């Protein structure tokens, strides 16, 4: 990191970017009827030619609130040397998440944590650019000790400790090279959410199922929860299109109370959904556990995570056997530093991480972590997929590459 020692962060350029996606009902579900996919976008300027690019996803309104929050945090970043940040990343991370006045506004949740994520992910991007490799390679090249040094274990030591994390990673280290070769060749499985937004007509859904089958997808997600009869019809139609040899996931986007979730899903068992996603409020650990127990006999797993605020919520979802599928979002929790311990806990608890994506830049960001998971942590893609929605990729210099229903890692050189 010697090259970095003189590089200082000079300022943050913050943009409020909005796209009118609600016009086509793209992204519509039982709770979010008219999302305008948007983001708070951060460019970290240094006293060198290197810049870091980070963002957090929003649904349109309120993006300006996140921008204001990033401005409130920037005083903790500006003037710092990148060397001092990256060699003490967990301490730096805590300086943002535990700022003694700002933490009242969270702590570690909502707007202030979304803002933290945008900055933190921008710093990881900057680090990768300085090392002239994509983030997944940066992560994979770190030693177990280096990687773990970026994690703040506060509040999760009853589930995983620094020493345990290092031990887990050390055991996997000898497979790294081989797994990198594998993943670069064969990619990582994706599932598509594009076929089943709630605002889409039956014809549109059918066409989309056929389109994605042709493209090689084998896993399809459908939004449910507004009307049971419609859900039954929609599930039947999609199963008719994709057959039972492919996977079907369902997503209720938090629309149900506990008992309603259980009763509703019992009416959909004939369609053999792999999981029910967000059956209720993202904060309800015990509620998810109750639903999971009730649906176990039907082999329907519970999935949640895109609106789970932090590692403490994920820790409990795992401790309580409340989820089988863990759907981290790249910028909901406090960026990569907080995503890493969630992956480590998932490994320990045997939970499958299937990241939330779509939106703006979520596919582009979260793929890096899932590649790292395969290379350094689990060595398995079994029963795991990265969500994929093919919208808004055209705005990125390095959009995701999908081949036959699989995410393909790039080996980009920035210099």
Q: Which is nearer to a copy of itself, 31 or 232 (CB)?
A: 31
Among 7, 50, 109, 384, binds a copy of itself (CB under 8 A): 109
Instruction: Report yes or no: 337 and 151 within 8 Å, Cβ to Cβ.
Output: yes
In whole angstroms, how close is the CB of 146 to a copy of itself at the nearest point?
23
- We find the least distance from the C-beta atom of residue 69 to a copy of itself, in angstroms, to be 5
- Per CB under 8 A, 91 contacts a copy of itself: no
Binding a copy of itself (rule: CB under 8 A), the pick from 1, 143, 145, 155 is 155
Q: What is the largest CA-CA distance in the chain?
A: 63
Query: How far is C-alpha 123 from the geometric centre of its chain's CA atoms?
Result: 17
8 binds a copy of itself (CB under 8 A): no
Q: How many residues would you count in the chain?
A: 415
For the annotated catalytic residues, the residue numbers are 223, 356
Q: Smallest gap, in angstroms, from Cβ of residue 256 to a copy of itself?
A: 9
| C-alpha span between 278 and 172 (Å, rounded) | 32
Find the binder of a copy of itself among 8, 65, 142, 408 (CB under 8 A): 65
DSSP collapsed to 3 states, 259-320: HHHHHHHHCCHHHCCCEEECCCCCCCHHHHHHHHHHHHHHCCEEEECCCCCCHHHHHHHHHC
Query: Contact at 8 Å (CB) between 201 and 393?
Result: no
- Minimum CB distance to a copy of itself smaller for 108 or for 231: 108
Q: Which is nearer to a copy of itself, 9 or 66 (CB)?
A: 66
With contact defined as beta carbons under 8 Å apart, do 42 and 118 qualify? yes
36 binds a copy of itself, rule: CB under 8 A = yes
Element spanning 325, H or E = strand 325-326
Assess 24 for contact with a copy of itself (CB under 8 A): no
Residue 104 in the binding site for a copy of itself (CB under 8 A):
yes
- Nearer Cβ to a copy of itself, position 81 or 321? 321
- Residue 145 makes contact with a copy of itself by CB under 8 A: no
17 binds a copy of itself (CB under 8 A): no
Min dist CB 305 to a copy of itself, Å, is 14
Closest CB to a copy of itself among residues 99, 277: 99
317: tokens are 């979802």
SS3 281: coil
Residue selected from 42, 69, 344, 366 as contacting a copy of itself according to rule CB under 8 A:
69
* Plot region of 79 (φ>0 → left; ψ -120 to 50 → alpha; else → beta): left
Three-class DSSP category at 196: strand
Residue 111 backbone dihedrals phi, psi, to 5 degrees: -55, -45
306: CB partners within 8 A, 6+ apart: 278, 282, 327, 328, 329, 332, 356
Encoded one letter per residue, x for contact with a copy of itself by CB under 8 A and - for no contact, window 252-291 reads --x--xxx--------------------xxxxxxxx--x-
Among 320, 390, 399, 410, binds a copy of itself (CB under 8 A): 320
Q: Which stretch binds a copy of itself (CB under 8 A): 108-116, 171-179, 223-231, 239-247?
A: 108-116
- Give the three-class secondary structure for 208: helix
Measured between alpha carbons, how far apart are the two ends of the chain, in Å?
16
Cβ atoms < 10 Å from Cβ of 413: 8
Q: How many residues bind a copy of itself (CB under 8 A)?
A: 62
Residue 201 has phi, psi (to 5 degrees) of -75, 165
Asked whether position 163 contacts a copy of itself by CB under 8 A, the answer is: no
Q: Is 231 in the site for a copy of itself (CB under 8 A)?
A: no
The residues that touch a copy of itself, with contacts defined as CB under 8 A, are 31-36, 57-62, 64-66, 68-69, 72, 98-114, 154-158, 254, 257-259, 280-287, 290, 307, 309-310, 312-313, 315-316, 319-320
């Amino acid at each position: 990191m010697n090259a970095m020692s003189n590089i200082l962060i000079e300022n943050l350029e913050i943009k409020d970017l909005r796209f009118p996606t609600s016009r086509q009902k793209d992204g519509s579900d039982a709770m979010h009827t008219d999302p305008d996919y948007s983001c708070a976008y951060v460019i970290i300027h240094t006293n060198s030619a290197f810049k870091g690019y980070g963002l957090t996803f929003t649904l349109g309104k309120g993006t300006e609130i996140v921008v204001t929050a990033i401005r409130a945090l920037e005083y903790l970043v500006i003037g710092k040397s990148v060397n001092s940040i990256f060699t003490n990343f967990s301490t730096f991370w805590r300086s943002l998440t535990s700022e003694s006045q700002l933490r009242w506004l969270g702590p570690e949740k909502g707007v202030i944590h979304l803002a933290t994520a945008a900055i933190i992910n921008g710093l990881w991007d900057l680090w990768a650019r300085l090392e002239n490799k994509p983030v997944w390679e940066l992560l994979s090249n770190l030693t177990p000790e280096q990687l773990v040094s970026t994690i703040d274990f506060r509040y999760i030591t009853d589930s995983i400790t620094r020493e345990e994390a290092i031990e887990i990673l050390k055991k996997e280290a000898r497979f790294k090279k081989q797994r990198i070769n594998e993943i670069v060749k064969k990619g990582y499985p994706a599932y598509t959410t594009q076929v089943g937004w709630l605002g889409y007509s039956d014809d549109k859904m059918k066409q989309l199922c056929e389109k994605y089958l042709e493209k090689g997808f084998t896993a399809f997600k459908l939004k449910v929860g507004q009307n049971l009869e419609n859900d039954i019809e929609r599930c039947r139609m999609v199963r008719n299109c994709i057959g039972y040899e492919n996977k079907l996931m369902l997503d209720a986007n938090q629309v149900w109370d506990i008992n309603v979730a259980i009763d509703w899903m019992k009416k959909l068992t004939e369609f053999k959904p792999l999981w029910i996603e967000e059956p209720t409020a993202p904060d309800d650990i015990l509620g998810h556990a109750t639903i999971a127990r009730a649906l176990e006999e039907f082999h329907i797993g519970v999935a949640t995570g895109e609106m789970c605020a932090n590692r403490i919520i994920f820790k409990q979802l795992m401790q309580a056997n409340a989820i089988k599928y863990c759907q981290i979002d790249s910028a909901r929790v406090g960026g990569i530093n907080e995503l890493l311990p969630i992956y480590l806990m998932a490994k320990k608890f045997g939970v499958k991480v299937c990241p939330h994506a779509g939106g703006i830049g979520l596919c582009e960001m979260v793929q890096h972590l899932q590649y790292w998971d395969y290379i350094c942590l689990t060595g398995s893609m079994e029963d795991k997929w990265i969500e994929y929605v093919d919208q808004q990729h055209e705005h990125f210099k390095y959009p995701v590459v999908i081949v036959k229903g699989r995410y393909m890692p790039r080996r980009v050189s920035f210099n």
